[in-house]
Amino acid sequence: MTIENKKKVIQIVKSTMQKINIQIDESEYYNPLGWENGYGVEYLENEKLIDGKQKNVYKVSFNGKDYEKYDENGELLHFMEGQKFTAYLDEEFNLLFILGNHGILEIK
């Protein structure tokens, strides 16, 4: 996988998640996993997809940001851990789907 392809799939994922108002955790926390700035990118050949078909795909792993809400006194009212996501793009850089903790996001 070229660096240009890696940057391209990350940009597509970032743009898509912005459109649906989900912020991505781009911290260096995940770098020990081999991720770079919050993203893990792989190129997989003949990956079996959720529709049962096999394709060569780019797989992008990332996490949404945690959500915290505080009251006027600074007390934590609500905390929700960011979801873990995996996006799949075909060789033509078309976003196929995104898997999250709570199911599949199909972006059209």
Q: pTM of the predicted model, to two decimals?
A: 0.81
At 85 the pLDDT is 93
* Terminal Cα distance for the chain, rounded: 26
Q: pLDDT tens-digit profile of 3-62? A: 899 999 999 999 999 998 888 888 777 666 667 778 889 999 999 988 899 999 999 999
Spatial separation of the C-alpha atoms in residues 55 and 36, rounded to whole Å: 25
Instruction: Determine the structural domain holding residue 95 and report its residue range.
Output: 3-105
Spatial separation of the C-alpha atoms in residues 41 and 73, rounded to whole Å: 41
Helices (H), 1-108: 3-19
Please state the separation of Cα 56 from the chain's center in Å.
18
Residue with the bigger pLDDT between 104 and 92: it is 92
pLDDT at 108 over 70: no
Domain count, the chain: 1
